[in-house]
Chains A and B, each alone.
Chain A
Amino acid sequence: MALFTVPHIEVKGVSACVPPTVDRNRESRILSDEEKEKLIASIGVEEKRVADVATCTSDLCCTAAERLLAELGWRRDDIEILIFVSQSPDYILPATACILQDRLGLSQECYAADISLGCSGWVYGLSTIASIMSAGKMKKGLLLVGDTTTKLGSSKDKTYEPLFGDAGTATALSYYEGYRGLTFHTATDGSGKDAIIIPDGGYRNMVNSKSLSLENSGGGILRNRLHCRLEGMDVFSFAITKAPKSVRKVLESVDIEKEAVDYYLFHQANLMLNETIVKKLKLDPEQVPYSIREFGNTSSATIPLTMVTELKESLRTRHLKMIGCGFGVGLSWATVYFETENIVCPDLIEYKHE
Chain B
Amino acid sequence: MELKEFIENFKEVFDDEELTGINGDTFFKELDVWSSLSALSLIAMVDENYDVSITGNDIRKADTIEDLFALVQSKKNV
Contact = CB atoms under 8 A, between A and B. Distances in A.
Given A38-B37, A39-B37, A219-B36, A234 B56 contact: yes
Interface string A85-107: 00000000000000000000000
Contact of B56 (A38, A231, A276, A280): A231
B44 A233 contact: no
A234 B57 CA distance: 8
B53 A236 contact: no
A42 interface: yes
A236 B37 contact: no
B35 A236 contact: no
For A39, A233, A276, A280, which residue has the most chain B Cβ atoms within 10 angstroms? Answer: A233
Contact of A42 (B40, B47, B53): B40
Given A159-B36, A240-B47, A276-B47, A233 B55 contact: yes
Nearest to A242: B53
Interface in B28-54: 35-37, 39-41, 43-44, 47-48, 53-54
B59 interface: yes
B47 A233 contact: no
Interface of A: 38-39, 42, 159, 219, 231-234, 236-237, 240-241, 272-273, 276, 279-280
- Which secondary structure dominates where chain A touches chain B? helix
Given A233-B43, A240-B43, A42 B56 contact: no
B56 A272 contact: no
For B36, B40, B53, which residue has the most chain A Cβ atoms within 10 angstroms? Answer: B40
A233 B34 CA distance: 14
Contacts of A233: 36, 39-40, 43, 55-56, 59
B40 A232 contact: yes
Contacts of B59: 233
A237 B35 contact: no
B40 A38 contact: no
Contacts of A276: 44, 47-48
A158 to B, nearest CB: 9
A237 B43 contact: yes
A127 to B, nearest CB: 26
Given A159-B36, A272-B41, A241 B47 contact: yes
A232 B36 contact: yes
B72 to A, nearest CB: 13
Nearest to B54: A237
A241 B44 CA distance: 10
